[in-house]
Amino acid sequence: MTSIVTIQSIDENLIKVDADGRGQKTFTVTNISGGSLRLGLQCQFDNAEQKDWARPRGDIERELGDQGSDQIIVDITAPSDAAPGTYEFQLLAYSMINPNLDFTVSDSITIEVPEPEPTPEPKPFPWWIPVTAVVVLLLIGGGVTTWLLWPKALTVPEIIIGETKVNATKMIEDLGLVVKSETANETEDFPAGTVMQTDPLPGEEVEKGGTVLLTVAKKVSIPTTPGPHIIVGPQLIVRRISCPDAVQGKIAWDYKGSKRWAQANINRLCKGATNTSQPAVCFKKVMHGGLNYGGGTRWQWKNAIDLCEGTQHANRTIQCFKNSIARGKPWKTAIASCNP
């Protein structure tokens, strides 16, 4: 797998469609392949039922010179009968010459379909006025009870390191916490768009309603002007989570929820990648993220390890597998080609 372009998100990664189901998302695509490039563009969803919801505007094939850039506008149209909720897609940019190996995938973009506006109902006769005092007393009593019983502290999820910003934000907001983010240059262990660190750290407690700061990896820009370039300013020191630490007791290896791994299986999954959590992130997404292998989404754990063993880039490995399945390859062949 070779990354041939950078894909930069220009606006927000959460797109709320209007009442007609319409919206748009803008990207900047830059050629970093080292030569001229004939590029194909495609929007892809995990669920094939949404495949027509997003499409690049204009020609889906582009010619880019070395270091050339193009702005890509994606038009979003959710059908009128779309269920309220959130849906995710990614922009796939691939070489028209070697699409299976030369491609780049954007961060996940979330489409939000809002609840329909309720039809106004006639105002009922205010029969409730005589019982208002009773209701208020009940609400006050229930509120005090809820406040006493509700947990005063929540724990930052430990598996959040290495997740995409979209997934990490959802995990934290689902706990009732507030999310803020900052960026730092990507590293070998943390490709652009993934969470490098949290404050408080994973496993630490946060007061309910508190804030979690995400440090998200950003693409490193390569200077094109000749001459010396000096990087100034503070450098982030990332507290890495090793592969074994991200697996044992953190991820269920089966569908019964068992998180106690045999050491031999941890050694195999983390082979050659003990200082990165990417194999653990990959295994979790494959086993518990609904990845379709062509015959369903229920994986054998041994096959999930085969795909994720020693990977340095979970998202690229999974994207390679998706591309291979979409082109009709058997799942065993897809695993072998994406993690040789």
Q: Map out the domains of the chain as residue ranges.
A: 5-113, 153-218, 243-338
Model confidence pLDDT, tens digit, residues 186-209 = 887 788 889 988 888 776 788 888
Mean pLDDT of 226-232: 46
CATH topology of domain 153-218: Trypsin Inhibitor V; Chain A (3.30.10)
Nearest to 14 by CA among 179, 175, 157: 179
Q: What confidence category does residue 147 fall into, taking pLDDT thresholds of 50, 70 and 90?
A: very low
Number of H helices and number of E strands within the chain?
Answer: 8, 15
Q: For 71-80, 228-237, 279-288, which range has the lowest pLDDT when averaged over its residues?
A: 228-237
Tokens 């982030």, residue located: 236
Q: For 6-10, 18-22, 138-142, 280-284, which range has the lowest pLDDT when averaged over its residues?
A: 138-142
3-state secondary structure of 117: coil
CATH of domain 5-113: 2.60.40.10
Based on C-alpha coordinates, what's the Rg of the chain? Answer: 23
Residue type at 6 in one-letter notation: T
CB of 183 within 8 A of CB of 215? yes
**Sign, Cα dihedral of 164, 165, 166, 169:** positive
Kindly state the tokens that stand for 165.
Answer: 């910003």
Look at residue 137 in the predicted model and tell me its pLDDT.
57
Cα separation, 32 vs 315, whole angstroms: 19
Look at residue 232 in the predicted model and tell me its pLDDT.
42
**Does 104 score more than 80 pLDDT?**
yes
